[in-house]
Structure 1
Amino acid sequence: MQSGTREANPQLTSRSKLPYLLSCNGLSKKFDKTTAIDGLNFSTQVSRLGLFGPNGSGKSTLLKLMLGILYPSSGTIQLGIDSSKIRFIPDFPNLPKSITVDEWLEKLEKMFGDIPLNIDIQDVTKLDGNLKLNELSAGQSRLIALLPVFYGKPELIILDEPTNFLDMIIREKIIKLLKQQIEISNSKIILASHKMDEIASFCDSVLMIDKGQMVASVSMSLKNRENYLLHVDNMISLREMLDSSDIDYKSMDTITGNATAIQMSWAFWKVIHKFTKSGGTIESLRLINDFEAVLGEF
């Protein structure tokens, strides 16, 4: 447990006995006159937790409070994994600038063991092993900083905006490899991100925060049984038909683009019939998960 004083912090070995991944009780953190975390109460037993919110919402501060890098101004926070079994990649890692890429990889292998995935890490990075880390670009530095998660089998991986500065091709490659690493290592993950697709890819449950406060805690697996999400090829035409029939709907930005959220009714199906008969195409129709439902209000 971490509280407002360092003396109240127990031995890290006791964390592995806790029955949950994360628990916060009245947690607050202030920096001078700024409140970064404001009275947070939350606990979860899930193994794949997302922290979702805009930049400056308090995600990074919460991660540092979990790990004891920062201490609360008030309240408590408990993380149910021993710190020796955690691999943490912060938003702005402090890399050893004077060593080369090859020396960094050797250091990781000595610290954490072999890479369990059947990959050549040099082939993934495409970097000259003789380059020093202070000679790398922002994207290359971010890639190098992510590599510790692939060595050994961490019990918990904590990532803070992991794909910032990565180009699209290497981002997709890293996401794919990270999924494989989590699977083969049976690792838990806590992922802080403002990117909806990353949260949807990795997380079973999401803590949505803004201005240091909890907006909602939602499951990615449960469905909102009242509302459906509709993608069509001509959204303007569909919404004109819905408006003329006095059918309530909501425009939502989703992972796959803008969509229409709507409740099922006989009047809606009559509009759909009219829409398709006029040449429109329904691209997808599915239940809205809780994350998307809350995101529409967020």
Structure 2
Amino acid sequence: MSIINAYNLSKSYRIHEKQEGVKNTIKDFFNRKYTYKDAVINLNMTIEKGEIIGLLGENGAGKTTTLKMLSGILYPTYGKVIVLNYTPTQRKKEFLKKIAFVMGNKSEINWDLPAVDTFRYQKLVYQVPNELYNKNINLLAEMLNVKHLLNIQLRRLSLGERMKMELINSFLYSPEIVFLDEPTIGLDLNSQIAIRKFLRQYREERKTTIIITSHYMDDIEETCDRVILLSKGRKIFDGSISEVSRLYSTNKVLQLVFDKAVNPLEFAKYGEIIEFKDNTLKLIIRKEQYKSIVTELIGQNRNITDISITNVPFKNIVNQIMAEGRIS
């Protein structure tokens, strides 16, 4: 069942063109000139209940703008969006009780108070029954392993611990849809892994729909069912991670295992060396050349004991696409 539907969703910003100098500043005061920047252009999407969706793209691609339109924070310039059978920009109380928005670079919890005080306030705002509140606090704190930190002043916690409290604060009232904008930004590896595990586990238990933007490809690959790629405000792909690899990767990873030490530079002519360890060499080679390369290596009798071909890791593909400017 689809719970988010966007039709030709678009957002443009009017930007004041300011000239330098005092004289031009005075002129601008009476006769301002504006340009328009398209942040999102004719975006169509359908999201089903219980899906975890990753929005991908470089800075300025329109990811955060899209989340803000889906949640009703921003009005679309044109187009239409329906979320849970509501028009988000109407900001109806019933709608707001069913969604949550977490921004990795913006805290919603008072740093001078223990997190549990903010949770109690959240309980009152969203009218969470006592039984459900206690159940959710215990469940979320246990899943994120922070029960022992609930009564500690927020500013005394680490960045990773504070983000876990932000997640509890947003999931506390059992929203049906959660928008996460860079939820692991700046976090250490262990905190990132813990949050990814939490999102997957929570979705399985509650069937919550989660939409994530992140520049950490591991967040997307390890958490999401589907990805939407944006390029300069336009959607260029909507499908599974495996489909991204199939459609966009022009390379393969060739792994060679040797029975004795070799000079890896002797193999640099075949492709880009990405790893050499314990007599195992990994190269990125052109997809269309791998058969001829393997045939040549076997014919040269180079003390190779094993050869394998795998797809290029998802994050390498996305980095390649970004570098080439094919997506945001």
Checking the alignment, whether the CA contact within 8 Å between 1:26 and 1:74 is kept in structure 2 is yes
Checking the alignment, whether the CA contact within 8 Å between 1:221 and 1:289 is kept in structure 2 is no
Checking the alignment, whether the CA contact within 8 Å between 1:150 and 1:178 is kept in structure 2 is no
1:151 to 172, 175, 183: 172
The amino acid across from 1:185 in the alignment is: R
2:253 to 224, 230, 243: 230
Report what 1:44 is aligned to. Answer: 46
Checking the alignment, whether the CA contact within 8 Å between 2:221 and 2:314 is kept in structure 1 is no
Instruction: Give the TM-score normalised by the residue count of structure 2.
Output: 0.65
Report what 2:188 is aligned to. Answer: 167
The amino acid across from 1:175 in the alignment is: R
1:50-65 equivalence runs, <5 A? 50-65=54-69
Deviates more, 1:47-56 or 1:117-126: 117-126
Relative to 1, partners in 2 of residues 1:239 and 1:25: Cα closer, same or farther, differing over 3 Å?
same
1:30 to 5, 9, 13: 13
Instruction: Please tell me the root mean square deviation across aligned C-alpha atoms, in Å.
Output: 3.9
Q: Deviations over 1:253-298 (max 9, x none)?
A: xxxx98445136641331453588444865x633469997565333
The amino acid across from 1:32 in the alignment is: I
Q: Deviations over 1:3-49 (max 9, x none)?
A: xxxxxxxxxxxxxxx84534240512315356261423221345222
**Could you say which structure has the higher helix fraction?**
2
Give the share of equivalent positions with the same residue, in percent. 23
Q: Deviations over 1:196-255 (max 9, x none)?
A: 111111223222224433343343243628966315368754441x37xxxxxx899xxx
Alpha-carbon deviation of 1:168?
Answer: 1.8
Report what 1:270 is aligned to. Answer: 295
Is 1:89 the counterpart of 2:102? The answer is yes
2:116 to 79, 95, 102: 102
The separation in 1 between residues aligned to 2:15 and 2:289, in whole angstroms, is 50
Checking the alignment, whether the CA contact within 8 Å between 1:87 and 1:154 is kept in structure 2 is yes
Checking the alignment, whether the CA contact within 8 Å between 1:229 and 1:260 is kept in structure 2 is yes
Alpha-carbon deviation of 1:73?
Answer: 2.5
Alpha-carbon deviation of 1:189?
Answer: 1.6
1:210-289 equivalence runs, <5 A? 210-222=231-243, 224=246, 229-232=252-255, 237-240=266-269, 242=270, 259-263=284-288, 266-273=291-298, 277-279=302-304, 282=307, 285-287=309-311
Relative to 1, partners in 2 of residues 1:205 and 1:27: Cα closer, same or farther, differing over 3 Å?
same
Alpha-carbon deviation of 1:162?
Answer: 0.6
Is 1:187 the counterpart of 2:208? The answer is yes
Relative to 1, partners in 2 of residues 1:104 and 1:272: Cα closer, same or farther, differing over 3 Å?
farther
The separation in 1 between residues aligned to 2:292 and 2:144, in whole angstroms, is 56
Alignment partner of 2:175: what SS?
coil
The separation in 2 between residues aligned to 1:26 and 1:123, in whole angstroms, is 35
Structure 2: runs of 5 or more not aligned: 17-35, 87-94, 257-262, 275-281, 323-328
The separation in 2 between residues aligned to 1:287 and 1:39, in whole angstroms, is 32
Relative to 1, partners in 2 of residues 1:237 and 1:30: Cα closer, same or farther, differing over 3 Å?
farther
Alpha-carbon deviation of 1:136?
Answer: 4.9
The separation in 2 between residues aligned to 1:276 and 1:209, in whole angstroms, is 46
The amino acid across from 1:184 in the alignment is: E
Checking the alignment, whether the CA contact within 8 Å between 1:227 and 1:264 is kept in structure 2 is no
Report what 2:220 is aligned to. Answer: 199
The separation in 1 between residues aligned to 2:254 and 2:292, in whole angstroms, is 18
The separation in 2 between residues aligned to 1:105 and 1:145, in whole angstroms, is 10
The separation in 1 between residues aligned to 2:253 and 2:10, in whole angstroms, is 39
Deviates more, 1:45-54 or 1:125-134: 125-134
Structure 1: runs of 5 or more not aligned: 1-17, 244-249
Alignment partner of 1:169: what SS?
helix
Report what 1:297 is aligned to. Answer: 321
1:133-148 equivalence runs, <5 A? 133=154, 136=157, 138-148=159-169
Relative to 1, partners in 2 of residues 1:266 and 1:69: Cα closer, same or farther, differing over 3 Å?
closer
The amino acid across from 2:295 in the alignment is: K
Deviates more, 1:228-237 or 1:83-92: 228-237
Checking the alignment, whether the CA contact within 8 Å between 2:11 and 2:40 is kept in structure 1 is yes
The amino acid across from 2:6 in the alignment is: S
Relative to 1, partners in 2 of residues 1:144 and 1:275: Cα closer, same or farther, differing over 3 Å?
farther
Checking the alignment, whether the CA contact within 8 Å between 1:48 and 1:202 is kept in structure 2 is yes
Relative to 1, partners in 2 of residues 1:123 and 1:213: Cα closer, same or farther, differing over 3 Å?
closer
Checking the alignment, whether the CA contact within 8 Å between 1:220 and 1:291 is kept in structure 2 is no
Aligned residue pairs total 269
